[in-house]
Amino acid sequence: MQENLDLFVYDGEWICGVDEAGRGPLAGPVMAAAVILDPEHPIDGLRDSKKLSEARRDVLAEEIKKYALAWSVAECSEQEIDELNILQATMLAMRRAVEGLAITPTLALIDGNRCPVMSIRSEAIVKGDDKVAAISAASILAKTARDHALYQLHLTYPQYALDQHKGYPTALHLERLREHGVAPIHRKSYAPVKALLK
């Protein structure tokens, strides 16, 4: 459970939480979300999206979109990941998410140990997705958006069973990659994919 929901008071600040989803998969984009919560409308049950069921994430995502003061989801494509590397692509997706907010925040709280370069102040918080409500909300939006994107990709590329593993390097995904080869949605800079291209 979150330990420090009141750790960051609003006190004249517009504070957004920022998190990403999809750094590890072999296929699909990396997604990031930014959320400015409304202190007048707290949302019960916010926590690290990985600790929630898919059904619970979907319910919370709708509540976040309804009650947050502002929210934004952005991505970096497979091509951008291959060109920039996954760390830089993740930072870019986070910056795009923050820049996409309808309200310009004064402070961005970033899950993890580093911050993207932005025009506003930012602070990295390790395990922030389970400590700060706004980061938890961003974690949930990023994860649900990415899952939806992978379900859509599954309709075009059903042979890879993306609906089951969401692009992660599971035994099933690796087996289907060997069987069907590399598709445009695969990250060609990732070792298992790169090996098949040789």
Query: Domain locations in the chain?
Result: 15-156
Give the pLDDT confidence of 2-29 residue by residue, as tens digits: 444 444 456 678 999 999 999 999 999 9
Q: Do 27 and 6 touch, CB atoms closer than 8 A?
A: no
Give the pLDDT confidence of 53-76 residue by residue, as tens digits: 999 999 999 999 999 999 999 999
- As annotated, the binding site for a divalent metal cation includes 19-20, 111
Residue type, 109: L
125 vs 73: CA distance, rounded Å: 20
User: How is the beta sheet containing 107-111 ordered, strand by strand?
Assistant: 70-76, 30-36, 15-21, 107-111, 121-125
- As annotated, the binding site includes 19-20, 111
Partnered with residue 107 across adjacent β-strands are: 15, 121
- For residue 143, what is the enclosing H or E element? helix 133-156
* Strands (E) located in the chain: 15-21, 30-36, 70-76, 107-111, 121-125
Q: Do 16 and 101 touch, CB atoms closer than 8 A?
A: yes
Q: pTM of the prediction?
A: 0.93
> CATH for 15-156, among 3.30.360.10, 3.40.50.9100, 3.40.50.970, 3.30.420.10?
3.30.420.10
How does residue 175 score in pLDDT terms, banded at 50, 70 and 90?
very high
Q: In terms of residues, how long is the chain? A: 198
